[in-house]
Structure 1
Amino acid sequence: MSDEERRDSLADQAAAWIPPWERPTPPKPEATETEPPADPDLGTGAPLEGPDRTKIAAAAPAAAGASAGEPEAVPGAVEPARVAEDAVGGDARPGEPEGEGGASGVPGKRGRRRPTPEPEPAPVLDDAELRGALEAILLVVDQPVSELTLAQVLEQSPERIGPMLDEIAAGYTAAGHGFELRRAAGGWRLYTRPEYATYVERFVLEGQSVRLTQAALETLAVIAYKQPVTRSRISAIRGVNCDGVIRTLVSRGLVEECGTEADSGAFLYRTTTMFLEKLGLNSVDDLPPLAPFLPDDVEELADATR
């Protein structure tokens, strides 16, 4: 038999096939001792009737779908599409709330994270508002504040802070105020003008004297011009022991330790930021030169002390 004849024969058989539930019910045979023949389509045994026939009819569509090539649903099985979606993660379906497991709200399912919104940029202050903000901050600071700190607090560009401070300082000087804005100790702070110092001292001191002694002033001057310097070097310059004076200067915050000398291991001392603040200096480089205060016969005095 050729292939074409075989296909025609199979097609005729498929067309002539009648499902069991559509076949006519044969008449009930009389009870005999022999068992009825088996139904070739339903397997061995007696033909089903009544409830059994109804169950077979209800299961027929599923059987027909399976014969057409569709996979039979197995309890507890996971659909391939759902497995692929769970593996790669996906967006939430319409109507599904978002949960801890991911964008779809299913525990264990990774969803696409929403991008974090970028913070809004700080508003740029105009010159008048920037000037007022700087003046308000400078009135409450207890030590010089740097331009970078002011820029961070006001959330403005550091390039705007320096020129604005210079403009404010120039305005105070031109208006003749009793105070001025100066750069000191690496920052900016408001100070009273030197010409009004006597009135300020009269108000602040009220008869109390907190001046440094002559020995303390000499020791502080040696440290300021020779720093970093050891105790023995200070004593050699002054010609007396200065341990007690150094302790006094350290306790008042004008002098501090800054390491040890490599050769002898002695402590080194230098001036502090408070020292610059009290003198109104920005750095030790602003100290006045010593040459105008030296005597003319300094070399003869040095030779005489040897």
Structure 2
Amino acid sequence: MTLTKIIEALLFSAQKPLSIREITAAIRGAEDDEFGSNEFIRVKEAEVAAALEQLKIEYIEQGRAFQLTEKAEGWQLATDPSFAKWVRQLFPAPKPARLSAPALETLAIIAYRQPITRADVEAVRGVNIDGVLQTLMERGLVKIAGRAEIPGRPLLYETTQFFLNHFGLRNLDELPNVEELRKRNLPVARVVAPPESPESTQAGTTGSG
């Protein structure tokens, strides 16, 4: 029994990506049975990480039909993309509609400048994005991230975990040219303070007298 074989069994049985911490906990938590004792009860996360890398290389060298991939949530076994046309025959489903160019542009602005208000995105694009923003939220690519601490407290938007999975990213730092584009100055919406009410103006005048 080897550590890589145990990890392979866990990944094969899992219904979702497994983090190194989850894999380590599963290995440590196994109880002795008729097949033997748990000799990996003190395994370390660093050892699991090294075994994962070893397993990944082995699959590549052996030219297997599946591969070990690292996603934002953890590690997962997946079929090699070159076999996709055959695997798809087992899971017939309508192809999802592609995002339009305006939607992709809006998504890119949010991804690189998040959290960001709708008005700031519109300042960059120069057009209203209500419909596009709704589409991105319905697709699960964008979500509300709170409110901005400016007059009117507009909603802030950011990308989701599904966004990372969809584009094969582990985190936002893997976005192309991320540092350069984050530093670039882009147009922002003009913040206008709400007008004072007649009551507050009158109160201020009375107080000054």
TM-score per shorter chain, which class? 0.5 to 0.7
* 1:246 corresponds to 2:133: yes
Aligned-pair distance for 1:282? 1.0
- The separation in 1 between residues aligned to 2:114 and 2:134, in whole angstroms, is 16
1:1-306 to 2 correspondence within 5 Å?
126=1, 128=2, 130-155=3-28, 156-194=43-81, 196=82, 199=85, 203=89, 204=91, 208-264=95-151, 265-289=153-177
- The 2-side partners of 1:228 and 1:164 are apart by 37
- C-alpha contact (below 8 Å) 1:186/1:283 kept by paired residues: no
Larger Rg: 1
- 1:202 Cα deviation (Å)? 5.4
Shift of 1:205: 5.6
Cα distance, 1:257 vs. partner?
1.7
Q: Which residue pairs with 1:297 in the alignment?
A: none
**Relative CO higher for 1 or 2, CA cutoff 8 Å, sep ≥ 6?**
2
Percent identity of equivalent pairs? 36
User: 1:139–1:190: 8 Å Cα contact kept in structure 2?
Assistant: yes
Q: Is the 8 A contact 2:19 2:73 kept in 1?
A: yes
Structure 1 residue 145, shift from structure 2 partner: 2.0
Amino acid aligned to 1:267: L
> What residue ranges of structure 1 are gaps of 5+ in the alignment?
1-125, 292-301
Any gaps of 5 or more consecutive residues in structure 2? 29-42, 180-186, 188-209
Q: Specify the code of the residue in structure 2 equivalent to 1:199.
A: K
* Whole-angstrom distance in 2 between the partners of 1:197 and 1:228: 38
Deviation of residue 163 (structure 1)?
Answer: 0.6
Q: 1:276 to 1:191 in 2, by over 3 A?
A: farther
Paired with 2:86 and 2:105, the residues of 1 have a C-alpha distance of 26
For residues 38-73 of structure 1, the C-alpha deviation after alignment (integer angstroms, 9 at most, x for no partner) is: xxxxxxxxxxxxxxxxxxxxxxxxxxxxxxxxxxxx
Q: Measured at CA, do residues 197 and 245 of structure 1 come closer, stay the same or move farther in structure 2, by a change above 3 Å?
A: farther
Q: Could you say if the C-alpha distance between residues 177 and 202 of structure 1 is closer, same or farther in structure 2, counting changes exceeding 3 Å?
A: same
CA distance in 2, matches of 1:235, 1:253: 20
Paired residues in the alignment total 166
Report deviation, 1:142.
4.3
Q: How far 1:198 moved relative to its partner? A: 5.8
SS of 1:268's equivalent in the other structure is strand
CA distance in 2, matches of 1:141, 1:219: 35
Name the SS of the counterpart of 2:69 in structure 1.
Answer: strand
In structure 2, C-alpha distance between the alignment counterparts of 1:186 and 1:287, rounded to whole Å: 17
Distance in 2 separating the partners of 1:164 and 1:290: 31
Contact 2:143–2:159 at 8 Å: present in 1 too?
yes
Does structure 1 conserve the Cα–Cα contact (< 8 Å) formed by 2:65 and 2:83? no
- Distance in 2 between the 1:186 and 1:208 partners? 25
Q: Is the 8 A contact 1:281 1:287 kept in 2?
A: yes
The question of whether the paired residues in 1 share the 8 Å contact of 2:71 and 2:170 is answered with yes
Q: What amino acid maps onto 1:133 in structure 2?
A: I
SS at match of 1:135: helix
Instruction: Give how far 1:200 is off.
Output: 5.9
The DSSP-based 3-state class of the residue aligned with 2:170 is coil
Mapped partners of 1:260, 1:266: distance in 2? 5
Aligned-residue offset at 1:147? 0.5
The alignment's TM-score, normalised by the length of structure 2, stands at: 0.67
Q: 1:212 to 1:142 in 2, by over 3 A?
A: farther
- Kindly provide the amino acid, as one letter, of the partner of residue 85 in structure 2: Y
